[in-house]
Amino acid sequence: MIISVIIIPFIVGILVPVIPFQKKWHKEAFLETAIVVNSILVWYLLLHHSDSTFLLAHFTGNLNISFRVDGMSMVFAGLVSFLWPFATLYSFEYMTKEKNENVFFLFYTLTYGVTLGISFAANLLTMYFFYELLTLVTVPLVMHTLTREAVLASRKYLYYSLGGAAFAFIGLIMVIVYGSTTDFILGGVFDPERIAGHTNVLLLIYVMAFMGFGVKAAVCPFNSWLPQAGVAPTPVTALLHAVAVVKAGAFAIIRLTYYSFGTDFLKGTWAQDVVMVIVMFTIVYGCSRAVKETHIKRRLAYSTISNLSYILFGAVIMTPLGLVGALSHLVFHAVMKITSFFCAGAIMHQTDRHYVHELDGLGYKMPCIFGIFTISAFSLMGVPGLAGFVSKWNLAEAAAESGNPLAWGGIACLLVSALLTAIYMLSMMVRAFFPGKDFDYNTVSDVKDPNGKMLLPLFVLTVCIIGLGLCSPPIVDFFMCVANGTE
């Protein structure tokens, strides 16, 4: 079944440009049905999985392509399979104003299968294979419009991703040489006899691999590709910034840290301090640039850069509580940010306005969109009762209890980031709802909320933001089980 849920999106995506659909809604029904069925199969697999490993291909020694469902797989695959049907439904309406729909949905659906491959990878080699494949299937999505800006953005994304993967590959080689296996084992796989005398070299390799995988997670200074990738259609940027690409980078770093190198080997070393300083700087840098940015999607992109390093900050604390905080924000941020991007895309789709100063007066003409946008903004700020507060609290608690003095600096970064998030998110809401008494509402007289294809996913995601904020203990308890290796 693991192979099935990975292959089905490939087959469906390839069939989209091949089948001569008579009407547009036939294609939409085919795609949505296939995605929903595949997501149901994923959830059935997660709820009824075994602990066995499925070997697909063996090369030599301990090098093979294999798949397994463990706690980390359940978190990432569950998140991806829950959000993808809503993203696909949203994209049907958005793509009515775009060209080359068949090519778009071909690669959009392929990305679903590749991301599931990363989720279910049983070892570092398998994850690396699908990680590289993710770059190849998402480049055409970034350059979909084929404008000069899109081509340059896709080229930069490709260069950065391939360069980062080269550094990650060095980490893979070190795990092959000095590890007892390439399989993911909580606690790490290094053989003490083999690594004797090579500690500092391996720590250097860890930092290099961290930065390599960190390219997709938009770690400074390798994050400039992410705001530029905003030229892609909004359904693409929503998944790039919320689920598939950036979260794959964060997921890979968690695997590398906890399941390959191991926290016993890394904790308390100079390598931990280096990566912690990097992610703390990225947290503040991202939200600082978001305050300055005037383009709506690029502002949200810089917000993503900051919030991704929240996840990495939890990971590099290198304690079970730190991993709980990282997983909390990995999931909760995905829901919050995909909601924000969907709202931004709806605004652009309905009004063809792309900048913050153009939002004046739209709040009363698009009450559903801006109401949802406000809830997602409050959640990103960390307002109690919403999802963002829970994950930020978990991260701060993990940092306070870690015993690492440097982690207290991370708490300060979280507080600064929360203040800056309030500035760059609420400034958009204020413009939309309070344009000033001299504002001429005739300039927005023809603006209205989008149809149900866009609104239905947004309503469901908004309920999730509130539900995760009010009913998070069972989910956080599950994350604790994952962090302790009991799930």
Q: Helix 71-94 to helix 473-484 angle, to the nearest 10 degrees?
A: 130
Q: CB neighbours of 108 closer than 8 A, spacing ≥ 6?
A: 13, 88, 91, 141, 235, 236, 239
Domain range for 365: 267-487
pLDDT, the chain, mean:
90
In a domain, 45, yes or no: no
60 exposure class (CB count in 10 Å sphere: 0-12, 13-18, 19+): exposed
Strands, E assignment, 276-394: none
Per the CB < 8 A criterion, the answer to whether 335 and 468 are in contact is yes
Q: Provide mean pLDDT across the span 56-70.
A: 89
Both structure tokens of 174: 């070190």
Q: Provide mean pLDDT across the span 317-322.
A: 94
In a domain, 120, yes or no: no
Give buried/exposed letters for 130-149 (b at 16+ CB in 10 A, else e): bbebbbebbbbbbbbbeeee
Q: Residue 55: in which H helix or E strand, if any?
A: strand 54-60
Confidence (pLDDT) at 191: 82
User: In this predicted model, what pLDDT tens digit does every residue of 20-52 receive, in sequence order?
Assistant: 888 888 888 999 999 999 999 999 999 988 888
Q: What is the dihedral of CA 306, 310, 311, 317, to 10 degrees?
A: 140
Number of H helices, E strands in the chain: 21, 2
User: How far from 270 is each of 124, 189, 205, 377, CA to CA, in Å?
Assistant: 24, 20, 12, 36
Q: Provide mean pLDDT across the span 152-180.
A: 92
In a domain, 341, yes or no: yes
Higher-confidence position of 102 and 203: 203
Give the total number of structural domains in the chain.
1
Confidence (pLDDT) at 94: 79
In a domain, 224, yes or no: no
CA distance 118 to 73: 9
Confidence of residue 364 (pLDDT cuts 50, 70, 90): confident
CA distance 188 to 200: 17
Per the CB < 8 A criterion, the answer to whether 447 and 353 are in contact is no
In a domain, 378, yes or no: yes
Both structure tokens of 73: 């797989």
pTM of the model: 0.94
Q: Residue 374: in which H helix or E strand, if any?
A: helix 367-381
Of 234, 222, 233, 280, which Cα lies nearest the Cα of 407?
280
Confidence (pLDDT) at 463: 94
Q: What is the dihedral of CA 468, 470, 471, 476, to 10 degrees?
A: 60
In a domain, 68, yes or no: no
**Dihedral over Cα of 96, 99, 100, 104: its sign:** negative
Residue type, 259: Y
Confidence of residue 325 (pLDDT cuts 50, 70, 90): very high
pLDDT at 394 over 90: yes
Place of tokens 């930092």: 207
Per the CB < 8 A criterion, the answer to whether 361 and 342 are in contact is no
Confidence (pLDDT) at 487: 75
In a domain, 323, yes or no: yes
Confidence of residue 160 (pLDDT cuts 50, 70, 90): very high
Q: Provide mean pLDDT across the span 58-82.
A: 91
pLDDT at 96 over 80: no
In a domain, 451, yes or no: yes
Both structure tokens of 7: 């292959």
Higher-confidence position of 145 and 114: 114
CA distance 271 to 242: 28
Query: Parallel, antiparallel, or unpaired: how do β-strands 63-67 and 54-60 relate?
Result: antiparallel
CA distance 463 to 124: 36
Q: Provide mean pLDDT across the span 296-306.
A: 91
Confidence (pLDDT) at 320: 93
User: In this predicted model, what pLDDT tens digit does every residue of 400-417 receive, in sequence order?
Assistant: 998 889 999 999 999 999
Q: Helix 101-120 to helix 2-15 angle, to the nearest 10 degrees?
A: 170
Confidence of residue 476 (pLDDT cuts 50, 70, 90): very high
For 197-247, the DSSP string reads T-HHHHHHHHHHHHHHHHTTTT-TTS-THHHHGGGS-HHHHHHHHHTHHHH
Of 473, 370, 386, 385, which Cα lies nearest the Cα of 425?
370
50 exposure class (CB count in 10 Å sphere: 0-12, 13-18, 19+): exposed
Of 465, 255, 228, 259, which Cα lies nearest the Cα of 342?
465
Of 132, 116, 47, which Cα lies nearest the Cα of 80?
116
